[in-house]
Amino acid sequence: MAHKILFCATVDYHFKAFHLPYMQWFQKQGWEVHVAAAGNINLPYTNQQYRIAIQRSPFHRSNLAAYKQLKEIIDQNHYTMIHCHTPFGGVLARLAARETRKQGTRVLYTAHGFHFCKGAPVANWLFYYPIEKYLSRYTDALILINQEDYELAKKHKFHATSIEHVHGVGVDTEKYKPIDKQKKRELRKSLGYQADDFLLFYAAEFNKNKNQQLLVHAMALVQEQVPNARLLLAGEGPLFEHCQQLASELGVVDRIDFLGFRKDIDQLLPMCDVGVASSLREGLPVNIMETMACGLPVVAVDNRGHRELIDHNKSGWLLSSPHALDFANQLIDVSKMAETELMFGKHAREKIESLYTVDRILMEKRKVYEKYMEEWRGMRWAVH
């Protein structure tokens, strides 16, 4: 009988975006791969897909039904391993797996950035910290994707059997890579941009944390000194229309392209000059890894995720506070740099290649997975 692993998260897109290489690896080992999440995407490398109406809000009433459904799935399938992701996917899965864990199922949880961290609101510490600390007792491996979270979990003595650090979910450096000048000119022309435009790029959901309003305000402040600056914003979200309205009010609607949801980020990024990142809190942002993999330097608000990826004054610039004037001044400075001085993009690419490729992350995750695979083999041998 094949071993089974259950991947659980709030939404199925999380697996499509970040975890397919690791699901494929399990299938290559002869395991059955099951997925439980909300959504209607037909995922590859999946033997069984359960659609559960998990909601992001912990107070949503449908989460009780989702918990019961998830517990039934777990109790029926006798999984060898469960790997849960996203804050509430991690909550429901670990609660639902309490009994089966006593029977030998190993439960792994990847925290993609604790909501409590240095500089986080006190409310986050009061709400999220006790939940994560309590649930860590039902966790065999707590996997952290940045050094700050790893040290925090160690310092506060989280109860997980083991606490591991891996370098995020990885980026495909064959898909996201720099292009030569001629290809860049051709891409720009095909999309209606000029060869000498100063193109800035950011891909993220439009929400309060991603803070695109900061970038809109910064564009209003740079327009006189950098008249060829254009900001490309990819993504959707609750604040999308608000940001469009703000751009109109500030007179920069013609300098900002609101691209909506895009599937061609790997084509758009390499033709740009600089990545920008305005988010207030990050775990280890994939959008910035993709930007750096394309050889772009990044101007970003300083937070733990950006700080772990971007080497200040080497592969980009970190701004200590989320102020539009500071952001604008940095963009003006970068726009004046001669191309020969922009070694930042080269260093950015090298940083990704050294630590954050999909192959590198697969090796790190394999060490965690294989520890429990070997443990199971030892248990089976002892029984026989």
Distance between the two ends of the chain, CA-based, in angstroms? Answer: 16
User: Are the C-beta atoms of residues 373 and 141 closer than 8 Å to each other?
Assistant: no
Report the mean per-residue pLDDT for the chain.
Answer: 93
Whether 58 is in a domain gets the answer yes
Residues 226 and 84 grouped into a single domain: no
Domain that holds residue 251: 181-355
Residues 377 and 348 grouped into a single domain: no
CA 210, 213, 216, 217 torsion-angle sign:
negative
30: its two tokens: 């002869």
Q: Is the per-residue pLDDT at 377 higher than 70?
A: no
Whether 175 is in a domain gets the answer no
| Predicted pLDDT at 383 | 37
Report how far residue 158's alpha carbon sits from residue 112's, in angstroms, rounded to the nearest whole number. 16
Report how far residue 35's alpha carbon sits from residue 51's, in angstroms, rounded to the nearest whole number. 8
318: its two tokens: 């970190």
C-alpha pair distances (Å), 314 with each of 18, 147, 337, 351:
27, 20, 14, 10
| Residue 238, helix vs strand vs coil | coil
Whether 49 is in a domain gets the answer yes
How do residues 311-338 score in pLDDT, each as one tens digit? 999 999 999 989 999 999 999 999 998 7
Whether 303 is in a domain gets the answer yes
Residues 190 and 329 grouped into a single domain: yes
| Ramachandran angles phi, psi of 232, nearest 5° | -105, 120
| Residue 166, helix vs strand vs coil | coil
How do residues 166-182 score in pLDDT, each as one tens digit? 999 999 999 999 999 99
* Helix (H), strand (E) at residue 191: none
Residues 317 and 206 grouped into a single domain: yes
**Is residue 94 packed enough to be buried (19+ CB in 10 Å), middle (13-18) or exposed (0-12)?**
buried
* Residue 4 pLDDT class (50, 70, 90 cuts): very high
Residues 218 and 245 grouped into a single domain: yes
Whether 176 is in a domain gets the answer no
How do residues 34-57 score in pLDDT, each as one tens digit? 999 999 999 999 999 999 988 777
Residues 136-157, mean pLDDT to the nearest whole number: 96
> Which residue do the tokens 């610039």 mark?
317
| Predicted pLDDT at 376 | 66
Domain count, the chain: 2
| Residue 177, helix vs strand vs coil | coil
Backbone region of residue 185 per phi and psi (left: phi > 0; alpha: psi in -120 to 50; beta: other values): alpha
Residues 27 and 160 grouped into a single domain: yes
Whether 291 is in a domain gets the answer yes
Residues 69 and 206 grouped into a single domain: no
Residues 189 and 97 grouped into a single domain: no
Q: 82: closest CA among 53, 50, 55?
A: 50
Residues 255 and 242 grouped into a single domain: yes
Contacts of 100 (CB under 8 A, 6+ apart): 74, 75, 78, 79
Report how far residue 224's alpha carbon sits from residue 221's, in angstroms, rounded to the nearest whole number. 7
Burial 115-154 (b: 16+ CB within 10 A, else e): bbbeebeeeeeeebbebbeebbebbbbbbbbbebbbebbe
Whether 323 is in a domain gets the answer yes
| Predicted pLDDT at 54 | 84
How do residues 109-140 score in pLDDT, each as one tens digit? 999 999 888 777 888 888 989 999 999 999 99
Torsion, CA 92, CA 98, CA 101, CA 105, rounded to 10? -20
Residues 133 and 248 grouped into a single domain: no
| Predicted pLDDT at 73 | 97
Residues 345 and 214 grouped into a single domain: yes
C-alpha pair distances (Å), 5 with each of 16, 36, 84, 251, 272:
17, 11, 10, 53, 40
Report how far residue 150's alpha carbon sits from residue 384's, in angstroms, rounded to the nearest whole number. 38
* Residue 378 pLDDT class (50, 70, 90 cuts): low
Q: Is the per-residue pLDDT at 384 higher than 60?
A: no
CATH number at residue 371: 3.40.50.2000
Residues 118 and 216 grouped into a single domain: no
| Residue 311, helix vs strand vs coil | coil
pTM of the model: 0.91
Whether 110 is in a domain gets the answer yes
Report how far residue 226's alpha carbon sits from residue 354's, in angstroms, rounded to the nearest whole number. 34
Q: Is the per-residue pLDDT at 61 higher than 80?
A: no
Report how far residue 57's alpha carbon sits from residue 78's, in angstroms, rounded to the nearest whole number. 28
